[in-house]
């Protein structure tokens, strides 16, 4: 598998990152361990999880599965989401993040996390407190690098500037949503991260499964699928626009002899500024399909067709930028 550099860290990570939100949920422990083994056998070395995934269940499975081979893995996790009913069992405060890290270390059976990320912003905590806590974690040796997830471009800018101003551990990565049906980060975040040497690790590159082509509409949901198990989410996500994008992905896939999932992933994989899309799977068949997204590249005419169908009207002021031929996004 192709290796890429994680921001300015100098750490080599596989171009596909294994996401583990399905572990201890759609994928039982045995299947989850098989998925990890297959991913590593394929040359992957980058695994992402979070304490919130099944209240630590995902981390526990990973900790057992990586015993004896931890040193060859770049392991990432996240903290911030509430882990219980106590109001102090969540958030990005120093108090909670330190506790969350210690709990993650225990569940993952390791003495350090390669990439520790604040899962979501916390409006009740000064950004400086969260960033200084990340710096303290790095200085302690329990964390190697710090990252953020789901932050606005304005808050990312503040984070970059504050880390530089105070000499804190830099933010080496950002984890946002990004796919052909969710291209909002192109407005500012992608170029901002590129300018600051910050890796971009997109989650949901298949648009929650929409871009695999298995959904034809909210009225006929296939069984044993994520949207099939959540009618409310299906009604919200299976819009006319999203389904039209999925149809084009399927058309391109048929034309080039690839699966729809491989086409959608390949598009994200080769977007300027993207380091490693996060792939998730509930079984080995899905994983193998996703792994087939790397090692090749879409032709320019296919990229153009996909970007044309998935382009949405720009908000202000980006629409004015485009009107005056000022570059917007990648």
On whether residue 259 sits in a domain, the answer given is no
Q: What is the DSSP letter of 224?
A: S
Where would I find the H helices in 179-230?
189-195
pLDDT of residue 228: 52
- On average, the pLDDT of the chain sits at 94
Average pLDDT value for residue range 87-91:
90
Q: Give pLDDT tens digits for 245-281.
A: 999 999 999 999 999 999 999 999 999 999 999 999 9
The percentage of residues in the chain with a pLDDT greater than 90, rounded to a whole number, is 84
Number of neighbouring beta carbons within 10 Å of residue 328: 16
Strands 12-14 and 3-5: antiparallel
Residue 204 neighbours by CB under 8 Å, 6+ apart: 177, 178, 179, 182, 278
Number of domains in the chain: 1
Inter-residue contact 287 to 278 (CB < 8 Å): no
Close Cβ partners of 82 (under 8 Å, ≥ 6 residues apart): 52, 89, 90, 91
User: How long is the chain?
Assistant: 330
Estimate to the nearest angstrom the gap between the alpha carbon of 169 and the chain centroid.
21
Phi, psi angle pair for 288, to nearest 5°: -60, -40
32, with CB counted inside 10 A (0-12, 13-18, 19+), is buried
Q: Give the CATH number of the domain where residue 43 resides.
A: 3.20.20.100
Task: Please report the pLDDT score of residue 216 as a whole number.
Answer: 79
Distant-in-sequence, close-in-space partners of 153: CB < 8 Å, separation ≥ 6:
187, 188, 189, 192
Residue 229 has pLDDT above 80, yes or no: no
In a domain, 113, yes or no: yes
User: Which residues touch 184 (CB under 8 Å, ≥6 apart)?
Assistant: 177
Q: What is the largest CA-CA distance in the chain?
A: 57
Q: Cα–Cα distance between 170 and 159 in angstroms, integer?
A: 9
Q: Is residue 111 part of a domain?
A: yes
Q: Is residue 98 part of a domain?
A: yes
pLDDT score at 88? 87
CA-based Rg of the chain, rounded to a whole angstrom? 19
**Mean pLDDT, rounded, for 92-102:** 97
Q: How confident is the model at residue 236 (pLDDT cuts 50, 70, 90)?
A: confident
Sign of CA dihedral 160, 165, 168, 170: positive
Q: Which of 29-33, 79-83, 165-169, 274-278 has the weakest average pLDDT?
A: 79-83
Domain assignment present for residue 23? The answer is yes
Q: Active-site residue numbers? A: 53
> How far from 271 is each of 121, 173, 261, 297, 329, CA to CA, in Å?
25, 16, 16, 11, 11
DSSP 203: B
Which pLDDT belongs to residue 131? 98
Q: Which of 36-45, 172-181, 193-202, 210-219 is predicted least confidently?
A: 210-219
Can you give the residue range of the structural domain that contains 47?
3-209+265-298
Q: Is residue 240 part of a domain?
A: no
> CA-to-CA distance for 13 and 172, rounded, in angstroms?
13
Residue 316 has pLDDT above 70, yes or no: yes
Per-residue pLDDT at 325 exceeds 90: no
pLDDT tens track for 27-74: 999 999 999 999 999 999 999 999 999 999 999 999 999 999 999 999
Strands, E, within the chain: which ranges?
Answer: 3-5, 12-14, 17-19, 46-48, 74-79, 113-118, 143-149, 171-175, 199-200, 278-279
Cβ 183 vs Cβ 219: under 8 Å: no
pLDDT of 127 over the 90 cut: yes
250, part of any domain: no
> What confidence tens digit (pLDDT) does each residue in 283-296 have?
999 999 999 999 99
Report the alpha-carbon angle 8-177-187, nearest 5: 80
Q: Mean pLDDT across the stretch 122-143? A: 98
Residue 217 clears pLDDT 90, i.e. is over it: no
Q: Is residue 260 part of a domain?
A: no
Task: Give 224's pLDDT tier (boundaries 50, 70, 90).
Answer: low
């Amino acid at each position: 598998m192709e290796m890429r550099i994680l921001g300015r860290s100098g750490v080599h990570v596989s171009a596909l990152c294994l996401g583990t939100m399905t572990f201890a949920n759609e994928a039982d422990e045995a299947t989850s361990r098989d998925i990890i083994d297959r991913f590593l056998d394929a040359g992957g070395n980058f695994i992402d999880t979070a304490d919130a995934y099944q209240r630590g269940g995902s981390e526990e499975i990973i900790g057992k599965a990586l015993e004896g081979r931890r040193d060859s893995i770049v392991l990432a996790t996240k903290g911030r989401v509430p882990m219980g009913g106590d109001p102090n069992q969540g958030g990005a405060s120093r108090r909670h993040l330190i506790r969350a890290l210690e709990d993650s270390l225990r569940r993952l059976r390791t003495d350090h996390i390669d990439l520790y990320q604040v899962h979501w912003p916390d409006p009740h905590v000064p950004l400086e407190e969260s960033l200084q806590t990340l710096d303290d974690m790095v200085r302690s040796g329990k964390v190697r690098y710090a990252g953020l997830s789901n932050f606005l471009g304005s808050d990312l800018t503040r984070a970059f500037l504050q880390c530089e101003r105070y000499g804190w551990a830099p933010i080496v990565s950002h984890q946002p949503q990004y796919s052909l049906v969710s291209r909002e980060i192109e407005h500012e975040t992608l170029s901002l991260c590129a300018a600051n040497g910050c890796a971009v690790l997109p989650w949901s590159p298949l648009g929650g499964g929409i871009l695999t082509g298995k959904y034809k509409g909210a009225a006929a949901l296939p069984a044993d699928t994520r949207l099939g198990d959540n009618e409310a989410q299906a009604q919200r996500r299976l819009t006319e626009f999203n389904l039209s994008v999925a149809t084009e992905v399927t058309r391109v896939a048929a034309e080039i002899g690839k699966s729809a999932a491989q086409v959608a992933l390949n598009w994200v994989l080769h977007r300027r500024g993207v380091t490693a899309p996060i792939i998730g799977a509930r079984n080995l068949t899905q994983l193998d399909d996703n792994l087939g997204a790397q090692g090749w590249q879409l032709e320019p005419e296919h990229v153009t067709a996909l970007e044309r169908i998935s382009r949405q009207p720009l908000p202000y002021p980006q629409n004015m930028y485009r009107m005056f031929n000022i570059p917007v996004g990648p």
